[in-house]
């Protein structure tokens, strides 16, 4: 049976300006230039460069406003003499920054591991087929230096991709050749083989020979730190086993980690979106707009629009279409400039609220002074929606005198101490890490013991919470932290 039902729903429809602002809020400073240049390419009414200078351009006062999200641009108000406000000059210290503030954190080096291996391969005399095999195998070695594909699977790929029909034994021979290259351990299929490749290059002393046997025959027990089992099987003393373990600790488990990643060879550098200076206790926040170009509406388009509007009578179809085109482009340019301005204001106001909330931390950099803080706390302080705070926090960085941090680092869950004081989970993790660093490595602390230590300090935390924080810190269980 078909029935008509009348329902009343409350829907929020975003204006074009709000949609544009939402998208811009998600973009970090390093990507803003590309986004602006893309908009300039699409809109001939939007131009790069500073607008007409104003006597207020150098002022550093900032007027926060929660209004303007629905500013409708009225074409009747447009004239060539209208100056588009410089969105940068409305922000304190938001002009171009000196190079000292543009501290870029690079990742990796210029030479990749694959390049390094290929250079060594070029010095070898190989027939054309083996050289093709070598190039293909090197291309399959990952950034840690491992070849995690079996000779058989590589043989299948060679037949499909390169049309080479070669036996797996020939592939194995080329792999063994590559395993003689630097860095030692490269081309291994797993950690055990990586260790053996490095040990076999060492001077074959009795200790090294004994260590090779340890890795060859007792790798599983060694990785699980079942030292009592190893002592019994190898019939060695504690001191002998300790010496062998020290040899192993000197090995590099990831021989390729000193080289740049193939996938990240041109990885973007981290450019802070915010800059914070501490001037004798006065925390001064600025936006890092050194790479964001100035924008203004094309004066030519404004004049064109005014000319067409002044002769509205007897306009031809072509003139009306030109008027509509100019109106649309100028309106779009104003919208974009206003969205960029609002983005800057929103970023500044949000980060300032975070700094005010975590003032104690930003004064001395002590993680113990970080207060529990969630998105809602800053949303309440700024009047913005929680989703807006989330967009500002994601993919944004702030440079402080203690280093560069992602903004989301300052949002932490909280808990209460026995005295009822609210503390951050980061404070708990700091104490947890310090306790583990100071433990006796022959008898490391269990999660229950760590829970008891924190309880003594006034932090009542369950063992499962200790395990969660320990995992988040990348610290293994007590058994795997044990040393001989």
Span 425-458, pLDDT tens digits: 777 888 888 889 888 888 898 988 888 888 888 7
- Of the three residues 373, 400, 427, the one that is the final residue of a domain is 400
In a domain, 8, yes or no: no
As for how many domains the chain has, the answer is 4
In a domain, 407, yes or no: no
Residues 115 and 138 in one domain: yes
Residues 223 and 314 in one domain: no
pLDDT of residue 14: 58
In a domain, 228, yes or no: yes
Residues 178 and 196 in one domain: no
Residues 444 and 338 in one domain: no
Residues 95 and 117 in one domain: no
In a domain, 258, yes or no: no
- Parent domain of 163: 109-183
pLDDT of residue 168: 92
Q: Report the SS3 class of residue 430.
A: helix
H or E segment to which residue 282 belongs: strand 282-287
Span 293-351, pLDDT tens digits: 788 888 888 887 777 666 666 677 887 787 888 888 898 999 999 999 999 999 999 99
pLDDT at 203 exceeding the cut of 70:
yes
* Sign of CA pseudo-dihedral 73, 75, 80, 82: negative
Residues 339 and 354 in one domain: yes
The pLDDT confidence band at residue 176, using thresholds 50, 70 and 90, is very high
Q: What are the structure tokens assigned to 475, written together?
A: 């610290």
Q: What is the mean pLDDT of residues 189-194?
A: 93
Residues 396 and 435 in one domain: no
In a domain, 262, yes or no: no
Q: What are the structure tokens assigned to 8, written together?
A: 């009343």
* CATH code of residue 439: 1.10.10.60
pLDDT of residue 359: 93
Residues 228 and 333 in one domain: no
Q: What are the structure tokens assigned to 138, written together?
A: 């090197």
- Of the three residues 332, 365, 400, the one that is the final residue of a domain is 400
pLDDT of residue 172: 95
The secondary structure of 292-342 as a DSSP string is: SPPEEE-HHHHHHHHHHHHT-TT--HHHHHHHHHHHHHHHHHHHHHHHHHH
**What distance in Å separates the CA atoms of residue 5 and residue 2, rounded to the nearest whole number?**
10
Q: Report the SS3 class of residue 439.
A: coil
Q: What are the structure tokens assigned to 305, written together?
A: 């629009």
Q: Give the residue carrying structure tokens 């204001």.
A: 345
**What distance in Å separates the CA atoms of residue 199 and residue 215, rounded to the nearest whole number?**
9
Contact 483, 245 (CB under 8 A): yes
Query: Which residues are 406's β-sheet partners?
Result: 397
Span 255-289, pLDDT tens digits: 888 775 444 443 446 788 999 999 888 999 999 87
Q: Report the SS3 class of residue 333.
A: helix
pLDDT of residue 163: 84
pLDDT of residue 1: 55
The pLDDT confidence band at residue 86, using thresholds 50, 70 and 90, is very low
pLDDT at 364 exceeding the cut of 80:
yes
Residues 137 and 214 in one domain: no
What mean pLDDT, rounded, does the chain reach?
A: 79
Q: Give the residue carrying structure tokens 């064109």.
A: 304
Rg (CA), the chain: 32
Contact 433, 423 (CB under 8 A): no
pLDDT of residue 5: 62
pLDDT at 173 exceeding the cut of 70:
yes
**What distance in Å separates the CA atoms of residue 169 and residue 151, rounded to the nearest whole number?**
8
Q: What are the structure tokens assigned to 154, written together?
A: 């590589």
The pLDDT confidence band at residue 381, using thresholds 50, 70 and 90, is very high
Residue 147: count other Cβ atoms within 10 Å of its Cβ: 21
pTM (2 decimals)? 0.51
pLDDT of residue 4: 64
- Of the three residues 168, 183, 198, the one that is the final residue of a domain is 183
Residues 220 and 336 in one domain: no
**What distance in Å separates the CA atoms of residue 448 and residue 218, rounded to the nearest whole number?**
30
In a domain, 294, yes or no: yes
pLDDT of residue 72: 33
Which is it for strands 295-297 and 46-48: parallel, antiparallel or unpaired?
A: antiparallel
In a domain, 159, yes or no: yes
The pLDDT confidence band at residue 92, using thresholds 50, 70 and 90, is very low
**What distance in Å separates the CA atoms of residue 451 and residue 436, rounded to the nearest whole number?**
12
In a domain, 373, yes or no: yes
pLDDT of residue 146: 93
pLDDT of residue 55: 39
Residues 170 and 234 in one domain: no
* pLDDT top residue among 463 and 108: 463
Span 34-80, pLDDT tens digits: 888 889 899 898 888 765 443 333 333 333 333 334 333 333 333 33
Residues 395 and 277 in one domain: yes
Residue 170: count other Cβ atoms within 10 Å of its Cβ: 16
pLDDT at 165 exceeding the cut of 80:
yes
The burial class, CB within 10 Å (0-12 / 13-18 / 19+), for 40 is middle
Q: What are the structure tokens assigned to 277, written together?
A: 């200076």
First and final C-alpha spacing in the chain: 78
């Amino acid at each position: 049976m078909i029935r008509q039902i009348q329902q009343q729903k409350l829907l929020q429809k975003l204006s074009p300006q709000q949609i544009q602002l939402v998208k811009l809020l998600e973009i970090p400073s390093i990507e803003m230039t590309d986004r602006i240049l893309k908009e300039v390419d699409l809109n001939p009414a939007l131009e790069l460069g500073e607008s007409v200078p104003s006597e207020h351009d150098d002022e550093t006062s900032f007027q926060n406003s929660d209004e303007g999200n629905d500013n409708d641009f009225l074409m009747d108000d447009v004239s060539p003499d209208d100056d588009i406000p410089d969105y940068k000059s409305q922000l304190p210290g938001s002009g171009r920054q000196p190079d000292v503030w543009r501290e870029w954190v690079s990742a990796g080096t210029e030479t990749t591991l694959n390049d390094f291996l290929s250079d060594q391969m070029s010095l070898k005399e190989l027939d054309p087929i083996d050289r093709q095999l070598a190039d293909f195998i090197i291309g399959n070695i990952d950034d840690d230096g491992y070849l995690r594909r079996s000779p058989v699977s590589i043989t299948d790929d060679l037949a499909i991709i390169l049309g080479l029909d070669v036996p797996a034994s020939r592939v194995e021979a080329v792999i063994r050749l590559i395993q003689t290259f630097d860095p030692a351990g490269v081309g291994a299929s797993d950690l055990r083989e990586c260790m053996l490749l490095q040990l076999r290059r060492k001077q074959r002393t009795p200790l090294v020979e004994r260590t090779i046997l340890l890795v060859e025959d007792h790798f599983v027990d060694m990785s699980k730190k079942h030292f009592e089992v190893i002592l019994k099987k190898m019939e060695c003393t504690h001191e002998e086993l300790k010496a062998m373990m020290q040899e192993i600790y000197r090995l590099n488990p990831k021989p390729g980690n000193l080289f740049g990643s193939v996938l990240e060879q041109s990885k973007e550098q981290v450019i802070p979106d915010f800059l914070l200076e501490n001037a004798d206790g006065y925390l001064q926040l600025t936006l890092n707009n050194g790479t964001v170009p100035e924008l203004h509406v094309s004066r030519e388009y404004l004049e064109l629009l005014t000319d067409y509007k002044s002769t509205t009578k007897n306009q031809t179809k072509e003139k009306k279409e030109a008027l509509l085109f100019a109106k649309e482009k100028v309106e779009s340019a104003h919208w974009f400039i206003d969205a960029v301005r609002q983005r800057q204001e929103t970023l500044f106001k949000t980060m300032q609220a975070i700094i005010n909330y975590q003032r104690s931390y930003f004064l001395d950099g002590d993680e113990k002074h970080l207060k529990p803080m969630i998105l809602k706390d800053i949303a309440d302080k700024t009047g913005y929606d929680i989703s807006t705070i989330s967009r500002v926090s994601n993919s944004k960085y702030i440079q402080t005198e203690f280093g560069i941090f992602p903004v989301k680092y300052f949002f932490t869950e909280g808990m209460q101490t026995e005295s009822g004081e609210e503390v951050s989970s980061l404070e708990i993790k700091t104490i947890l890490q310090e306790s583990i660093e100071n433990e006796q490595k022959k008898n490391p602390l269990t999660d229950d013991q760590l829970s008891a230590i924190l309880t003594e300090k006034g932090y009542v935390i369950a063992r499962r919470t200790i395990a969660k924080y320990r995992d988040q810190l990348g610290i293994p269980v007590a058994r795997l932290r044990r040393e001989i």
